[in-house]
Chain A
Amino acid sequence: MAWIGEIDLGTPAMVDVAARRVTLTIDGQTVAVPEGTSVMRAAALMGTTIPKLCATDMLDSFGSCRLCLVEIEGRAGYPASCTTPVAEGMVVSTQTDKLKALRKGVMELYISDHPLDCLTCAANGDCELQDMAGAVGLRDVRYGYEGKNHIVEGCNDESNPYFTFDPAKCILCSRCVRACDEVQGTFALTVQGRGFDSRISPSQNQDFLSSECVSCGACVQACPTATLIEKKVIETGTPDRAVVTTCAYCGVGCSFRAEMRGEELVRMVPWKEGKANRGHSCVKGRFAWGYANHQERILSPMIRAGIDEPWREVSWEEAIAHTAREFRRIQGRYGTRSIGGITSSRCTNEETFLVQKLIRQGFGNNNVDTCARVCHSPTGYGLKTAFGTSAGTQDFDSVEHSDVIMVIGANPTDGHPVFASRMKQRLRQGAKLIVVDPRRIDLVRTPHVAADHHLPLRPGTNVAVLTAMAHVIVTEGLADEAFIRERCDWDEYQDWADFVSDPARSPEAVEALIGVSADDLRAAARLYATGGNGAIYYGLGVTEHSQGSSTVMAIANLAMATGNLGREGVGVNPLRGQNNVQGACDMGSFPHELSGYRHVSDAATRALFEEAWGVPLDAEPGLRIPNMLDAATDGVFKALFIQGEDILQSDPNTSHVAAGLAAMECVVVQDLFLNETANYAHVFLPGSTFLEKDGTFTNAERRIQRVRKVMRPKNGYADWEIVQLVANALDLGWDYTHPSEIMAEIARLTPSFAAVSYAALDEHGSLQWPANEGAPQGTPTMHIDGFVRGKGKFVLTDYVPTDERTGARFPLLLTTGRILSHYNVGAQTRRTDNVVWHPEDRLEIHPHDAENRGVRDGDWVSLRSRAGETTLRALITDRVAPGVVYTTFHHAETQANVVTTDYSDWATNCPEYKVTAVQVALSNGPSAWQERYAEFASRSRRVEPAE
């Protein structure tokens, strides 16, 4: 596709920003560019576009189309400008009689074998072949127009729900093949055949849907013609304007150009200036935005007296007034601390800030929490304890400088696919890889990438594994003493070194416990400590355990012990899940902290907010989500305002969550759809999507990026406006007119955000906090000269086995995770065509365990734990070890969290989703819970017809 409003410079920029400048002359003009830049790119930077078809600045140069030829003084022939680097004093001509003739000849060959239905072609006006025919002055084709490859109808591949492949229009520039290789790293495409028999082939000449294609869209983006094109463009026509915004799915935070025609979104194209994604995306961000228009989206407020009654549509005025009245009634009867709220990790920073302000200023308590509770709350606790900051230490670009990458409890090719593509690029360049995961995740062996070490540890033994690695590093003299002496507390280090050196913590001593050979573990530890820049990336396989916080601190210990902090290429990198979970935490969504991670008991911080908000604030920590539910079943917590979260589907021990919600008198859900939690709600406030509001998200790199409104909210209000309505119904007197004003307040009250403003974000594109007087352009790499807390803290992390034990009744261990095509509880992605890849959750079970139970692939099986039982279909695979089973939780019908338990991280109550003792057996059908719940949910979703 051609870039709307953007210039394709032909070849990528030089990565080495310190490269020497080279001066050359192009068409009589002098231009200076970094050494290594191609002549094509130098000309484009100067304002001269050399014709091209196989070159694009998202891919390395290839030199096949022969359109971009130039003449260079003193050099024979007509070199391709895309593959020719600049040289000092070079003199280039881009347009001569000979070049014109050569280019026309090339275009004649292309056009002789290309359908000429331009006026009805979906790429009309957006076709680089069309542009080049114009650019070279093509007027006739001596070979005629009846090429061999004007393929008859029926050859189109329309299997992918989002784009089509029309081989008749293919000019075999191979951009798609190279995009799949270089950018995405899946290597799903090839050119099959030779000469006129050449065809682009997905996998083994399969259609796109059944091939290895992951539908990232990089090939569609790279394609210069209509060969690969979005179905939406075919249906709607080409867009005419673009607005840069940020994806609302995962914590990578890809920047996109929302390409519009009027208020209709035509396509999402990754923005090449986006610093998190560098012009790439995944299937979700690029294609799965149709949920915004899904028929199940609720657009009118609704209320009901009891959860057994149908919903009644009401006006916004009635819904808001009812909400405020109920909250005050309940507080009057049960006390100030009897109500609370949950902020959304998917809404903007501004909206999250307002919800916690509503609770603190309006409700008068600190009963606010967020979904980080169930994912990365141990990251907040662990890294704050060790380093002084509740966030990762690097930016995504840092991976380009890593020599050893250790991935612990994360599956980035599924959970953070765009970052995984960047990681794979580095791995293909030679960086080493250690994977610590019970499953053989895709990263262990993927095209041109193979883990040097895969440690398939037994679930629940993270701390034992990491402490054993520390044992190796300390006892073999691999610690970076200079770094430790300078940057850490030396006495604490020595205590820790003594602790880990204990033979009881050696790889040999824990081998049987962890299920990893001592030799493998020693080799991995040595590689991390001595292999150069060592970077650790981790996910919920670290945090969602009873020792989640301990594991995070164990990771921090390793990084400090080996000096792998404070520069590019190293660090401790939590792969935050939600698009704005980092932001939600930054904004003070935890019950014990105000924005910027300052404890509510800190009088000076509280005074700042009290002055700004005009009320005294509660100095006592509030309730976390699990404690809210406990208090609800105790009869003392009676109302909850939930914005953009579905705790009934996402939180553990579903029956306990249901009991807690059912015990409340007023549950208010602000969301796009009647999600599972809404089954227990009394007020439903329809929310807005990321396309319908302004604001900011903060990704896993601490990068604050703009979200920009591209259409009016179909529900009538942006989410922040709804919160303001509720606040003013409680007489709080808010008068924000734009989210930029909310950010201005955040910046005034939060030192790490002091330099953040919409103007600054527009100027810089994005800012990584801390962004303040000391770092006005933000902070890509943390802890360069010192840790935020001063000296880094070594913490003793003793292995404490989980209380969730296998036994005769429950002999298997269940762990849960995610898949590429769906996002978390699937509320959005299940309402898009992404369901074609994952229409149901399946239970992955090892062949031995399946055979012992008479289970065949596809059989319905019951999955039973001490907490509950559910039923789903089996998928037999050796990706899981014997004794371990795995499932996803993207489908509400699966009710996967019926079986997960109340066990949680000791420090943060982050649920232990990754370790549940279960038994699996053949089943005839849904469990009793699933049947009861389905019937209840169906009744609960009734909406009274409007009168």
Chain B
Amino acid sequence: MTRSIDRLVYMANQIARNFAATGPEAAARATADHILAFWDPRMKAQIIARAGEAEPGLSESAAAAIAMIESKAPAAVPAREINSQR
């Protein structure tokens, strides 16, 4: 498996597949909730950006989930500025 974004696509698809038994809409919602709860801001931004590409490689459920995230999530909250002057 290649790194980073391909891994994120794999993870999103895997999450969606494990919720599949609940039906497509519930699976998409559960996948979206899961990603919102557990993925860091950069990972979320990466998958949202990937979903916008021509061939994202996302399953139907995963793609629906990312769409929900994009519409649901507030703009990524930037991290607190740290005084790096020592």
Interface residues of A (CB under 8 A from B): 324-325, 328-329, 331-333, 335-337, 363-367, 499, 546-547, 550, 591-592, 599, 601, 615-624, 627, 630-631, 633-634, 636, 796-798, 800, 902, 906-907, 909
Answer yes or no: B54 CB below 8 A from chain A CBs: no
User: Quick check: B18 and A907 within 8 Å, CB to CB?
Assistant: yes
Q: How far apart sit A364 and B83, CA to CA, in the bound complex (Å)?
A: 10
User: Quick check: B38 and A328 within 8 Å, CB to CB?
Assistant: no
Q: How far apart sit A550 and B81, CA to CA, in the bound complex (Å)?
A: 39
Answer yes or no: B85 CB below 8 A from chain A CBs: yes
> What residues of chain A lie closer than 8 Å to B84, measured between beta carbons?
328-329, 331-333
Answer yes or no: B41 CB below 8 A from chain A CBs: yes
Among the listed A331, A630, A800, which residue makes an inter-chain contact with B3, where contact means beta carbons less than 8 Å apart? A630
Subset of 18 A-B contacts with CB under 8 Å? A324-B86, A332-B82, A336-B79, A336-B81, A364-B79, A364-B80, A366-B40, A550-B18, A599-B37, A601-B37, A615-B80, A618-B77, A620-B41, A621-B37, A623-B40, A630-B7, A800-B18, A906-B14
* Nearest CB of B to A384, in Å: 11
User: Quick check: B3 and A621 within 8 Å, CB to CB?
Assistant: no
Q: How far apart sit A762 and B84, CA to CA, in the bound complex (Å)?
A: 43
User: Quick check: B37 and A592 within 8 Å, CB to CB?
Assistant: yes
Among the listed B3, B18, B22, B86, which residue makes an inter-chain contact with A633, where contact means beta carbons less than 8 Å apart? B3
User: Quick check: B40 and A627 within 8 Å, CB to CB?
Assistant: yes
Answer yes or no: B72 CB below 8 A from chain A CBs: no
Q: How far apart sit A620 and B80, CA to CA, in the bound complex (Å)?
A: 11
User: Quick check: B40 and A798 within 8 Å, CB to CB?
Assistant: no
User: Quick check: A621 and B40 within 8 Å, CB to CB?
Assistant: yes
- Which A residue sits closest to B14, measured CB to CB? A906
User: Quick check: A800 and B17 within 8 Å, CB to CB?
Assistant: yes
Answer yes or no: B20 CB below 8 A from chain A CBs: yes
User: Quick check: B21 and A621 within 8 Å, CB to CB?
Assistant: no
User: Quick check: A336 and B80 within 8 Å, CB to CB?
Assistant: yes
Q: How far apart sit A798 and B17, CA to CA, in the bound complex (Å)?
A: 9
Interface residues of B (CB under 8 A from A): 1, 3-4, 7, 11, 14-15, 17-18, 20-22, 34, 37-43, 76-77, 79-86
Supposing A331-B84, A336-B82, A364-B82 touch, asked if A633 and B4 sit within 8 A by C-beta, the answer is yes
Q: How far apart sit A619 and B46, CA to CA, in the bound complex (Å)?
A: 19
Q: How far apart sit A459 and B22, CA to CA, in the bound complex (Å)?
A: 26
User: Quick check: A631 and B82 within 8 Å, CB to CB?
Assistant: no
User: Quick check: A634 and B79 within 8 Å, CB to CB?
Assistant: no
Supposing A364-B79, A620-B77 touch, asked if A631 and B42 sit within 8 A by C-beta, the answer is yes
Among the listed A329, A623, A798, which residue makes an inter-chain contact with B18, where contact means beta carbons less than 8 Å apart? A798
* Nearest CB of B to A724, in Å: 18
* Nearest CB of B to A735, in Å: 21
* Nearest CB of B to A405, in Å: 29
> What residues of chain A lie closer than 8 Å to B15, measured between beta carbons?
906-907
User: Quick check: A618 and B80 within 8 Å, CB to CB?
Assistant: yes
Supposing A328-B85, A630-B4, A906-B15 touch, asked if A620 and B40 sit within 8 A by C-beta, the answer is yes
User: Quick check: B38 and A621 within 8 Å, CB to CB?
Assistant: yes
* Nearest CB of A to B16, in Å: 9
Q: How far apart sit A335 and B84, CA to CA, in the bound complex (Å)?
A: 10
Q: How far apart sit A333 and B86, CA to CA, in the bound complex (Å)?
A: 13
- Which B residue sits closest to A362, measured CB to CB? B82
Most buried by B among A363, A616, A633, A796: A796
Q: Contacts A623-B43, A624-B38, A634-B3 known; list 9 others, CB within 8 Å.
A: A324-B86, A331-B84, A333-B84, A599-B37, A619-B77, A620-B41, A621-B38, A621-B39, A627-B40
User: Quick check: B7 and A796 within 8 Å, CB to CB?
Assistant: no
User: Quick check: B34 and A328 within 8 Å, CB to CB?
Assistant: no
> What residues of chain B lie closer than 8 Å to A634, measured between beta carbons?
3-4
- Which A residue sits closest to B15, measured CB to CB? A906
- Which A residue sits closest to B37, measured CB to CB? A592
- Which B residue sits closest to A619, measured CB to CB? B77
> What residues of chain A lie closer than 8 Å to B22, measured between beta carbons?
796
Q: How far apart sit A328 and B38, CA to CA, in the bound complex (Å)?
A: 26
> What residues of chain A lie closer than 8 Å to B3, measured between beta carbons?
630, 633-634
User: Quick check: A906 and B18 within 8 Å, CB to CB?
Assistant: yes
Among the listed B1, B17, B37, B41, which residue makes an inter-chain contact with A906, where contact means beta carbons less than 8 Å apart? B17
Q: How far apart sit A499 and B20, CA to CA, in the bound complex (Å)?
A: 12
Supposing A618-B77, A620-B77 touch, asked if A592 and B18 sit within 8 A by C-beta, the answer is no
Supposing A634-B3, A636-B42, A906-B15 touch, asked if A499 and B21 sit within 8 A by C-beta, the answer is yes
Supposing A324-B86, A592-B37, A623-B40 touch, asked if A798 and B20 sit within 8 A by C-beta, the answer is yes
* Nearest CB of B to A509, in Å: 16
Q: How far apart sit A241 and B38, CA to CA, in the bound complex (Å)?
A: 49
- Which A residue sits closest to B7, measured CB to CB? A630
Q: How far apart sit A920 and B86, CA to CA, in the bound complex (Å)?
A: 54
User: Quick check: B79 and A337 within 8 Å, CB to CB?
Assistant: yes
Q: How far apart sit A601 and B76, CA to CA, in the bound complex (Å)?
A: 12
- Which A residue sits closest to B76, measured CB to CB? A620
Q: How far apart sit A324 and B76, CA to CA, in the bound complex (Å)?
A: 27
* Nearest CB of B to A621, in Å: 6
User: Quick check: A337 and B37 within 8 Å, CB to CB?
Assistant: no
- Which B residue sits closest to A616, measured CB to CB? B80
> What residues of chain A lie closer than 8 Å to B14, measured between beta carbons?
546, 906
**Shortest Cβ-Cβ A-B pairs, 3 listed:** A332-B84, A336-B79, A798-B21
Q: How far apart sit A328 and B81, CA to CA, in the bound complex (Å)?
A: 11
* Nearest CB of A to B66, in Å: 16
Supposing A636-B42, A796-B22, A907-B15 touch, asked if A328 and B82 sit within 8 A by C-beta, the answer is yes
Q: How far apart sit A631 and B34, CA to CA, in the bound complex (Å)?
A: 20
> What residues of chain B lie closer than 8 Å to A630, measured between beta carbons?
3-4, 7
> What residues of chain B lie closer than 8 Å to A550, measured between beta carbons?
18
- Which B residue sits closest to A903, measured CB to CB? B1
- Which A residue sits closest to B18, measured CB to CB? A906
* Nearest CB of A to B62, in Å: 12
- Which B residue sits closest to A324, measured CB to CB? B86
User: Quick check: A337 and B21 within 8 Å, CB to CB?
Assistant: no
> What residues of chain B lie closer than 8 Å to A332, measured between beta carbons?
82, 84-85
- Which A residue sits closest to B35, measured CB to CB? A621
Supposing A337-B79, A618-B80, A902-B7 touch, asked if A547 and B18 sit within 8 A by C-beta, the answer is yes
> What residues of chain B lie closer than 8 Å to A623, measured between beta carbons?
40, 43
User: Quick check: A337 and B40 within 8 Å, CB to CB?
Assistant: yes
Q: How far apart sit A550 and B18, CA to CA, in the bound complex (Å)?
A: 8
Q: How far apart sit A590 and B4, CA to CA, in the bound complex (Å)?
A: 21
> What residues of chain A lie closer than 8 Å to B4, measured between beta carbons?
630-631, 633-634
> What residues of chain B lie closer than 8 Å to A547, measured between beta carbons?
18
Q: How far apart sit A675 and B76, CA to CA, in the bound complex (Å)?
A: 38
* Nearest CB of B to A457, in Å: 19
* Nearest CB of B to A260, in Å: 43
Q: How far apart sit A364 and B79, CA to CA, in the bound complex (Å)?
A: 7
* Nearest CB of B to A27, in Å: 68
Q: How far apart sit A761 and B1, CA to CA, in the bound complex (Å)?
A: 49
User: Quick check: B42 and A337 within 8 Å, CB to CB?
Assistant: yes
Q: How far apart sit A388 and B15, CA to CA, in the bound complex (Å)?
A: 21
Q: How far apart sit A329 and B4, CA to CA, in the bound complex (Å)?
A: 25
Most buried by A among B1, B40, B80, B81: B40
User: Quick check: B18 and A902 within 8 Å, CB to CB?
Assistant: no
Among the listed A363, A591, A621, which residue makes an inter-chain contact with B82, where contact means beta carbons less than 8 Å apart? A363
Supposing A499-B21, A634-B3, A798-B18 touch, asked if A627 and B80 sit within 8 A by C-beta, the answer is no
> What residues of chain B lie closer than 8 Å to A906, measured between beta carbons?
11, 14-15, 17-18
